[in-house]
Structure 1
Amino acid sequence: MKLEPKAILQIQKPMEEVFEGIVNPLHMTKYFIAESSGRLESGNEVVWKFPEFSEKFPITEIHTKSPHTISFVWDPETVVNIKLEEQKDQSTIVRVNEKGKELNEKNLAWALENSGGWANFLACLKAYLEYGIELRKGAFDFMRNNSTTS
C-alpha cells in the first residue's frame, strides 16, 4: 500500500491566476518558500530554500500543463501532483497529493506531517492571492534552530 498525503481548498481567484501563483517564484516567495532558482516549468529543474530549514531542496521532473496541472519530485520516493479546477464563479479548486512511499511507521508519520504541510501551503496561497497576506512570514521561525531535516 502506498501512502498519499492530500489537501484541497477553494480559492476565490481565476484558475490562471492561481496557476501563476504556484509556478512563479516571485509569488511563491510571498507565501511558501524563501528562495527559488526558477519557475516551475516542464523540463526545468529548480532549487528551493525554505525559511525554516538550512537545507536546499532540488525540485526535479517538473511537468506543467497551464493552467490545469503541476507535478514535480522533491523526494526521490514521491511525486507531488497539483490539479486546478475552474468553477462557474471563476474561483478555483486546488487539489494537492503526494504519492509514492510505502506504508510503514516512519512513512505514516511523514504522510501525516505532509498532509498538514500541504494544507498549510493551500491556506497560505489563499491568503496571499485573495488578500495579499503573507501568513507564512515568521510562522516557522521557531524551527530554524530545532531542525536540520525536512
Structure 2
Amino acid sequence: MKLESNATIQIQKPIEEVFEGIVNPEKMTKYFISESSGRLETGKEVIWKFPEFENKYPIKEVKIESNSTISFVWDPETVVKITLEKLPDNSTIVRVNENGKELNENNLKWALENSGGWANCLACMKAYLEYGIQLRQGAYDFMRKNETVK
C-alpha cells in the first residue's frame, strides 16, 4: 500500500493567474518558499529554499501542462502533482497530491505532516493571490535552528 498526502482549495482567481502563481518564483516567494533558482519549467531542475530551514531542496523531473498540471520530485520516494480546474465562475480549484511512500510508521507520520503542510501552502497561496496577504511571513521563525524568537 502506498501512502499519499492530499490538499484542495478553491481560489477566486482565473486559472491563468493561479498557474502563474505556482510556476513563477517571484510569486511563490510571497507564500511558500524564500528562494528559487528559477521558474518551474518542464525538464528544468530548480533549487528551492524555505525560510525556516537551512537546507536547499532540488526540484527535479518537473513536468508542466500550462494552466492544467504541475508535477515534480523533491523526495526520491514521492511525486508531487498539482492539478488546476477552472470553474464556471472563473475561480480555480487547486489540488495537491503527493504519493509514493510505502506504509510504515515513519511514512504515516510523513503523510499526516505533509497533508497539513500542503493545506497550509494552499491557504497561504489563496491569501496572497486573492488579497496580497503574506500569511507565511514570520509564521515559522520558531523552527529555525539556534535562533530565538523575540
State TM-score, norm by structure 1: 0.96
What is the root-mean-square deviation of aligned Cα atoms in Å?
A: 0.6
Tell me what 1:137 maps to: 137
Q: Secondary structure at the match of 1:33?
A: coil
Aligned length: 146
- Give the Å deviation of 1:22: 0.3
Q: Secondary structure at the match of 1:67?
A: coil
- Give the Å deviation of 1:112: 0.2
- Give the Å deviation of 1:60: 0.1
Give the Cα–Cα distance (whole angstroms) in 2 for the partners of residues 3 and 20 of structure 1: 29
Tell me what 1:42 maps to: 42
Tell me what 1:116 maps to: 116
Tell me what 1:31 maps to: 31
Give the Cα–Cα distance (whole angstroms) in 2 for the partners of residues 95 and 28 of structure 1: 16
Superimposed CA distance per residue, residues 99-148 of structure 1 (whole angstroms, 9 cap, x where no aligned partner): 110000000000000000000010000000000000000000000027xx
Question: What is the one-letter code of the residue matched to 2:124?
Answer: C
4+ residue segments displaced more than 2 Å: none
Give the Cα–Cα distance (whole angstroms) in 1 for the partners of residues 117 and 138 of structure 2: 15
Give the Cα–Cα distance (whole angstroms) in 2 for the partners of residues 142 and 105 of structure 1: 26
Superimposed CA distance per residue, residues 17-63 of structure 1 (whole angstroms, 9 cap, x where no aligned partner): 00000000000000000000001110110000000000000000000
Sequence identity percentage? 75
Q: Secondary structure at the match of 1:80?
A: strand
State TM-score, norm by structure 2: 0.96
Q: Secondary structure at the match of 1:4?
A: strand
Give the Cα–Cα distance (whole angstroms) in 1 for the partners of residues 142 and 67 of structure 2: 35
Give the Cα–Cα distance (whole angstroms) in 2 for the partners of residues 23 and 74 of structure 1: 15
